[in-house]
Each structure stands twice: as C-alpha cells, then as structure tokens.
A = this chain, B = another copy of it.
Amino acid sequence: MAVNLHIPADHEIYPIAGIEIGVTEAGIRKADRRDLTVFRLSEGTSVAGVFTRNRFRAAPVTVCERHLASTTGIRALVINTGNANAGTGETGLQAAEQTCAALGALLGTKADQIMPFSTGVILEQLPVDRLIAGLPGAIANLSETNWVSAAHGIMTTDTLPKIYSQRVEIGGKTVTLTGISKGAGMIRPNMATMLGFLGTDAGIDQGLLTSLAKEVADVSFNRITVDGDTSTNDSFIIMATGKSGLTISNTTDPNYQILKAALAEAAADLAQKIVRDAEGATKFMTVQVEQAKDVDEALLVAYAVAQSPLVKTAFFASDPNLGRIVCAVGYAGIPDLDVSHVNLWLGDVHVVLDGGRNPSYQEADGQRIMKEAEIVMRIGLGRGTASDTVYTCDFSHEYVSINADYRS
C-alpha cells in the first residue's frame, strides 16, 4: 500500500528526444515478468552517475564506474531485475562485462559505451546467458515512449511504478525532464537498493554533469531511508541528450541554477516515491532537524530518528509514544548535546519544550497528527544554524512479511 504515490497519466509523460527504451521478459529469475530494460542514447548524450558506497558493491556498479571513466560516450544502459550480481567476485564482473559486450555488438558500439545495472538477490551468479538471449527482444522494443514500461521493468518488490515527467522553460527553450526509479527495501542513502534514471533533453557538459549528479543526489536519493540497509547496487544516473537546443557548459551560465533546481525537483520526487512505496509503508514521514552545529550533525540526528524501529512502529500504530523520538535524539551520537535545548514539533504541535514535555501539550493533539498519512517531525537542537531533512516511512507487519518471504 503506497502512501500518496502520484503516477502521472500517460499524456503527462513526455518522451526525451534522444532516449529510446526497450523492455522485455528474459526469464532471469521468474517467468512472465518484464525483467530486462535497455536505454539507447543518441550520440553526444552526457551521462553521469552516483553509486553505492557499500564496500560490497555489485559487479555492475564497478563496471559502470570503469566504463564511465574509460569512454567519452555512453550509448546505452542495460538493467536487469531478479539478480543483483553482487558478492559474485570475478565471475560476476565477467558476467557484467559480457553483457555489455553483447549489447554493444547488437547496437554497434564498444562494450565500454554500455553501463550495466542489476537489482535482486545477492550472492547468486547472474544467469548471463538468459540475459544476453533477451537483449534482441529488448532492442526490438526500443521506442521513445516506453517510460511507463521501463518503470515496470525495473521493479522488484515495488508495488507501483515510479515516474516523474515535467516540462520547463529555460533560456527560451522547452526543456523536458523524465525519469523513473525503483526501491522498496534495503534503502538508506549512499545509496539505497534503488535505481534512478533521469533523462533530460537539456545539453550539459560532461564534466559539469558529473558534479551536478552528486549535488542532485545529495538532496534527493541521499536523503531517504527505509530500513537503514545501504544496498550493494544503488545507482542514480542522469542522461542529458541536448536535443532541446539548450546547452549549459558551466555553473556561471544564468540558466544553470534553473536547470539544477528542475533536476533536483525531479530527483527528489523519484526518491520520495521510493519511500512512499517502501516495503509495508503506510505513512510518509519527514524528519527535519534544525539548529544543528553543522549538516553532518543534523543528519546524524535525522537518521537516528528516521531509522529507529521503535519510532517507526509507533507511527505505524498512530501512537503518540513520542518519548521514542526523544530517545533516538539522545543516542544519535552528539556527545555534548544539551538536552535542555531540544525541542520537538509533530506537525504544528509543540511536544517537547526545552528537553521536557511541553506543559501545554495534549496527547489528543499528538494523536490527531499521528493519524495522518503524511507527518512532519521538526527537531530543534539549539546548537547552531545548520539544518537538513530526511524522508522515511513507518514500519509495519507488512515489512516483516515482505522481507521474510522475499525469496520464497
């Protein structure tokens, strides 16, 4: 049951000139399931990515970074579900490279112009023969209008497809941004078990796009958590084809900030959709931490609260057991935190005043907010002026069911 997850109607989903998508059933793990997706990119498309910092990074992540560094032009992406190709050692790396070579041969590009992505079970070898056998079917399906199909094609335990599409006027040109993402579990930043692919027909200099992708990830995919498990495969990719006629080469371009804001909005939407459709989620929670000494400290507290199983089960139950939030603030890891300066608001209700229960707080007010599907927690630390925000969801029976049964 996803929380207020908006799926744009077909006519609201704008293709990106220069990006074609093909989706097929390759039978990687299960039959009758779209599990193989290919993106073909027109020549001159800039591509940049941000990848998991898990030390057990999956083979495709290693290959992606290798290919991004070695080539001047990425021309295609290939994404499979059903198997993460992680913890698979040298065999896994060879499987990912083989996949790229096979797709490159079919598309007439070099192997290092392909980026591979995998999501699914860890520690099992990728069935690379079935994957490669599926590639011609994906290529036969290539079309600029296949974004919805791709959003389905990359799903694992997601219950709904995640799509963002928008047109903005920048510098007199109509620029389109369309993207998809997937997530569901094993989600916390740097990065999540999540894949995000954002296309735009703006033209962005390759070097600029590389730094921009990191900045955009840091306000979107790197600000969500479901269960604190940082996956082995997380990848967020921006592809900029330049077909709109707008081209940006440096940060001093007056249109740079406008485009960056549009990309950030798109990525935040795609990231938050992952939380809205997280495994078992019934509520969408925003944790804002303010008055921190620095952003690191704000995030430390925000994640402690957002990842506390006790906080998350209380929200599931709509139980204003708000001491659990306070407790998480206390163990977050700020050694010199003076709790007598800590304040907490739940929605518009001031619950904790200077470290203790606000005398005017009524449990009925807390209860009213807890029953909502979208809840904002605001925590003031009284230490400085830095702030940051993390998005998460509650923790339900359904989460346990899904993760206990995932492979069955």
Chain A contacts to B: CB under 8 angstroms:
53-57, 84, 86-92, 121-125, 185-186, 190, 227-232, 307-310, 313-314, 316-317, 319, 321-324, 326-331, 334-335, 337, 339-340, 342, 351-352, 354-357, 395-397, 399-401, 403-408
Cα distance, A54 to B340, chains bound together (Å): 14
The answer to whether B87 and A356 touch across the interface, beta carbons within 8 angstroms, is yes
Contact residue among B310, B396, B404, B408 (Cβ-Cβ distance under 8 Å from A227) = B310
The interface residues of chain B lying within 8 Å CB-to-CB of A55 are 329-331, 334-335, 337, 339
The answer to whether A232 and B327 touch across the interface, beta carbons within 8 angstroms, is yes
Cα distance, A352 to B232, chains bound together (Å): 16
Residue of B nearest to A356 (CB): B89
A380 → chain B, closest Cβ, in Å?
14
Cα distance, A326 to B90, chains bound together (Å): 16
A75 → chain B, closest Cβ, in Å?
30
The answer to whether A324 and B357 touch across the interface, beta carbons within 8 angstroms, is no
The answer to whether B229 and A324 touch across the interface, beta carbons within 8 angstroms, is yes
Residue of B nearest to A280 (CB): B400
Q: List 30 A-B contacts (CB under 8 A).
A: A53-B331, A54-B330, A54-B331, A55-B339, A87-B327, A87-B356, A89-B340, A89-B354, A89-B355, A92-B356, A123-B326, A123-B351, A123-B357, A125-B357, A227-B308, A228-B309, A229-B308, A229-B310, A229-B327, A231-B327, A232-B326, A232-B327, A313-B400, A314-B404, A317-B405, A319-B404, A319-B408, A321-B406, A321-B407, A395-B400
Cα distance, A393 to B309, chains bound together (Å): 14
The interface residues of chain B lying within 8 Å CB-to-CB of A230 are 327, 330-331
The answer to whether B121 and A323 touch across the interface, beta carbons within 8 angstroms, is yes
The interface residues of chain B lying within 8 Å CB-to-CB of A334 are 55
Residue of B nearest to A334 (CB): B55
Give chain A's interface secondary structure class.
Answer: loop
The answer to whether B405 and A56 touch across the interface, beta carbons within 8 angstroms, is no
Cα distance, A395 to B399, chains bound together (Å): 10
Cα distance, A13 to B9, chains bound together (Å): 70
The answer to whether A186 and B310 touch across the interface, beta carbons within 8 angstroms, is yes
The answer to whether A357 and B407 touch across the interface, beta carbons within 8 angstroms, is no
Cα distance, A87 to B404, chains bound together (Å): 36
Cα distance, A89 to B86, chains bound together (Å): 49
Cα distance, A239 to B121, chains bound together (Å): 51
The interface residues of chain B lying within 8 Å CB-to-CB of A57 are 330
Residue of B nearest to A54 (CB): B330
The interface residues of chain B lying within 8 Å CB-to-CB of A327 are 54, 56, 86-87, 122, 186, 229-232
A232 → chain B, closest Cβ, in Å?
5
The interface residues of chain B lying within 8 Å CB-to-CB of A401 are 397
The interface residues of chain B lying within 8 Å CB-to-CB of A331 are 53-56, 190, 229-230
Cα distance, A329 to B316, chains bound together (Å): 29
Besides A314-B403, A397-B397, 12 other A-B contacts (C-beta < 8 A): A53-B331, A55-B339, A56-B327, A87-B327, A89-B354, A89-B355, A89-B356, A123-B323, A124-B323, A228-B309, A321-B407, A395-B400
Cα distance, A123 to B323, chains bound together (Å): 5
Contact residue among B56, B308, B326 (Cβ-Cβ distance under 8 Å from A122) = B326
Cα distance, A326 to B57, chains bound together (Å): 10
The answer to whether B232 and A124 touch across the interface, beta carbons within 8 angstroms, is no
The interface residues of chain B lying within 8 Å CB-to-CB of A403 are 309-310, 313-314, 317
Cα distance, A92 to B321, chains bound together (Å): 18
